[in-house]
Amino acid sequence: MTEEACKQPPERVDKRIHVALPIRVTYWDSDNKPCLDLACTYDISARGARVTGLRCVREAGEIIAVERGRSKAFCRVVWVGEPNTELRGQVGIQCIESDRTMFETELRGLEEVYEKVQAENSPYRMTSVAGSLNGNRRRQPRFDIQGVVDLLKRDPSADHTAAILKNLSETGCLVTTNHKLTPGTELKLVLQVGNQDLRFRGRVRRVAMDFGVGIEFREIRKGDRQVLQFMLRRLAEKEEEEEKPKAKAASVSG
């Protein structure tokens, strides 16, 4: 992905609220008969939601109808939380009706809530296999990752700045961008990786032409911590699988 490809802000930068709302869900069984299920939202946005307790869903791609009050919208399941992960029991859905806004009334009266980033509670204190081989003893390992970042200075009149995500940890990220940023700049960030988006408040810690822009996370949107931890655990598992041959070779040669 190039800088040119992300000049426009990510599509899913709309407000996302961590709130539990009961919903009715209509799904279609193997005989194409409509069936009813009840569930609850984990968070909501104008175009989708994260849902818990949705027992009828089996895999991404399924179409369901979501009702709350008099509002009804057809949605596609975009991801299903895997068992034994931070997202178990959760399902991500996205509205497929281009002219419809979901949860309009609820979103109008609610604001996003942020929590302080608390790295001391991180399950990723371990040094990765790659870090061990390279002598890297970071308390918060950074993992290479591809994604798009929308940066907005805390000044309400500031324009959005597009950037490319290079690596990620629980307390910060590295991005590259053609726009000028200076250390100490306070930012709002939206990270878009695959079907997920994460929102932070942070500040620029380091800027270098051959390095990129290092950003420290100060706060994370409520409800996003589970998604971040899921991403980091998956990245750690992938890195360890890729580095096992190197570790084995190092052991043999030693």
Could you say which architecture CATH assigns to the domain 15-109? Answer: Beta Barrel (2.40)
**Backbone phi and psi for residue 246, each to the nearest 5 degrees, phi listed first:** -70, -40
The pLDDT, as a whole number, for residue 239 is 86
- The predicted-structure confidence for 85-144, as pLDDT tens digits, reads as follows 999 999 999 999 988 889 988 998 889 999 999 765 445 544 443 343 334 444 678 999
Lowest mean pLDDT among 22-36, 38-52, 130-144, 217-231: 130-144
**Band of residue 243 on the pLDDT scale cut at 50, 70, 90:** confident
Look over the chain and give the mean of its residue pLDDT values, rounded to a whole number: 84
Residue 67 has pLDDT above 90, yes or no: yes
The pLDDT, as a whole number, for residue 241 is 84
Longest dimension (CA), the chain: 69
More confident residue, 251 or 134: 251
- The predicted-structure confidence for 162-184, as pLDDT tens digits, reads as follows 899 999 999 999 999 988 889 99
Domain limits, CATH 2.40.10.220, in the chain: 15-109, 114-253
Residue 9 has pLDDT above 50, yes or no: no
**Band of residue 30 on the pLDDT scale cut at 50, 70, 90:** confident
The pLDDT, as a whole number, for residue 248 is 65
Residue 32 has pLDDT above 50, yes or no: yes
Round to whole Å and give the CA distance between 104 and 57: 24
Token pair of 120 as six digits: 């001391």
Distance of CA 1 to the CA centre of its chain: 18
Residue 58 has pLDDT above 70, yes or no: yes
- The predicted-structure confidence for 204-231, as pLDDT tens digits, reads as follows 999 987 889 999 999 999 999 999 999 9
Lowest mean pLDDT among 40-49, 130-139, 228-237: 130-139
The pLDDT, as a whole number, for residue 252 is 64
**Band of residue 157 on the pLDDT scale cut at 50, 70, 90:** low
Round to whole Å and give the CA distance between 251 and 246: 9
The CATH homologous superfamily for domain 114-253 is predicted glycosyltransferase like domains (2.40.10.220)
